[in-house]
Structure 1
């Protein structure tokens, strides 16, 4: 096995733009809103773009390599993560996602909890994360009137900001951002308000799943300094963990036979070196570290997000041990 790259799966959106061209040269025509970079979903499945398995779809490779690819503790019947880059030139709809229980019963797939990392922030870049203090009745009246602005918790953001978006949290990506989004493998979104753009709304389902007690706050993270790199732990839940590696020389580590990793480059460039070769990586690239890869080294002046499905107890223990060292 080796670090896997994938073809980008692009989606045109009415709120999309062309900002991904700042670091990619393969955009199709149109206002591109989403790039699914590691995906194994009925609405889009990644195809390997490098090495021995080039041209093979991710679901086929999972059947072929099983534990070697995903790890011994990751179920093989449903790939757990979806990694995207989102370019918003205009604001997205005000929306909410269901939890696993509701989504399985109503939609036949997983719920959606996600985390956002701001890759680039342009003038006026903003997000909506939760509401200001409001009751369910006030929220219903806002839906009926379309007067949402005074209820939304709108925050202006900078490059490198991180926000955890739990299922049930009202949210919206505002204009002027490129977001790296790591989420549960689900494509279920309930739109509450869409600025009169004529798309379908899902009011009843949204009211079923919204939790107005949830608050969206910027993740502060826990940063640890190493020799030639720093590592920041941003979120840890049963669905995924997110860490940021800021490397100015190199970092060495080993894969985990129990689980795969996904790296998403959010700035700079470098290379990943493993037993049988190396792979150059740059801003906008995502690659998958198979569970059976073994030792590898990342060199360069580069920032990468590392996402994976954790053993929460083991991950907590690792964080505590690192803090106490």
Structure 2
């Protein structure tokens, strides 16, 4: 089967901006906060852009060719990763996502563990990651007294950093930050605090105080992943950024050369997302060499039957590869 690119799905957000619009060819005066570039979620379904499978949705690809575009071991019956570019022109709400068990029971969806690869940040950039609430009661009391901000923990960030956000972690992206986000396929968010702002109609956005109280982890704060160098040669660097039960993320950098990669999890597809530069992806399909130009903002699924592929760049290329290698969840851990 063929590697596929998708049309980005632009999502308006109250905190969104304008700077990523040219990258994705979006023309609107509305603030765009998210560009979903790989998604099988019904709230923003990906559609193939070009090639022999043009016009098909990611859902249709998985249904028609499950071995190629879902693989042998997936934690969801649909494509299990949702990939998006995020532009935070303003602060996002302080929020938390449930784990699989809670989301299945209360939302009929999956939980949401995510990771951010920082594309850009101010010199003093930071995100909210974690809290100091000792228990549920202290959290609810702080909400009632308007003191949530006193308990938030901040993490400095810089371009090229990886921030890992497990489910049940209180978090927020802050003004001036752009990230690539890879997450479980889910769209369940519980807002805790929204900086006292109102929407275009003068109304505050909905908060989810009680559900957030249910899912916040009061005992454990998120661990900071340690990048691991997988290979380093002149003009080529491959680093493993994070690995968890839901996904593994690698960063691959090329400079005036080519490099061949094998699939991250044989039998499962790879996702390849270009975050800087441009180049070409080449692979064998049905005995023929297929060459696809790739540039910043492009996101591809490389099917499981493409066991290896070659990246080529003369001007420089930085790519994040995402893959998964988990069995289907039990009935008690997913919808």
Q: Which residue of 2 aligns with 1:297?
A: 310
Asked if 1:99 corresponds to 2:99, the answer is yes
Q: Which is further off, 249-258 or 95-104?
A: 249-258
From 325, 330, 333, give the equivalent of 1:310: 325
Q: Report the alpha carbon displacement of residue 133 of structure 1 after superposing the two structures with TM.
A: 6.1
- Quickly say closer, same or farther: Cα 1:203–1:284, change in 2 above 3 A: same
Q: Counterpart of 1:44 in 2: which secondary structure?
A: coil
Quick one: distance in 1 between partners of 2:18 and 2:224?
27
| CA apart distance, 1:134 | 3.9
Per the alignment, residue 39 of structure 2 pairs with: 39
Cα deviation code 1:184-231 (max 9, x no counterpart): 000000011112230111111000000022324543311233334111
Residue matched to 2:279 = 270
The answer (yes or no) to whether the contact 1:70–1:76 under 8 Å persists in 2 is: no
**Equivalent in the alignment of 1:210:** 216
* Alignment correspondent of 2:330: none
Partner of 2:191: 191
- Local SS of the residue matching 2:261: strand
Number of aligned residues: 312
8 Å contact 2:269–2:303 — kept in the other structure?
A: yes
How does the TM-score come out when normalised to structure 1? 0.90
Query: How far off its partner does 1:75 sit?
Result: 6.5
Q: Residue deviations 1:254-273, cap 9 Å, x none?
A: 33551111111121211111
- From 242, 261, 273, the equivalent of 1:235 is 242
In the alignment, the residues of structure 2 paired with residue 75 and residue 215 of structure 1 have an alpha-carbon distance, to the nearest angstrom, of 24
Bigger shift: residues 258-267 or 5-14 = 258-267
1:253 aligns with 2:261: yes
Check conservation: 1:164, 1:219, Cα contact below 8 A. yes
- Superposition map of 1:47-58 within 5 A: 47-58=47-58
What's 2:84 paired with?
84
Q: Distance in 1 between matches of 2:157 and 2:166?
A: 19
CA deviation string 1:123-159 (max 9, x = no partner):
5432100013644333222211222222111123110
Partner residue, 1:221: 227
Provide the aligned C-alpha RMSD in A. 1.9
- Relative distance call for 1:161 and 1:76 in structure 2 (3 A) is closer
Structure 1 unaligned spans of 5+: 313-325
Which moved further from structure 2: 154-163 or 131-140? 131-140
Q: Given the superposition, is the C-alpha separation of residues 75 and 100 from structure 1 closer, same or farther in structure 2, using an over 3 Å criterion? A: closer
Structure 2 unmatched ranges of 5 or more = 198-203, 328-335
Moved more, 257-266 or 29-38: 257-266
TM-score, L = length of structure 2: 0.88
Q: Which residue of 2 aligns with 1:320?
A: none
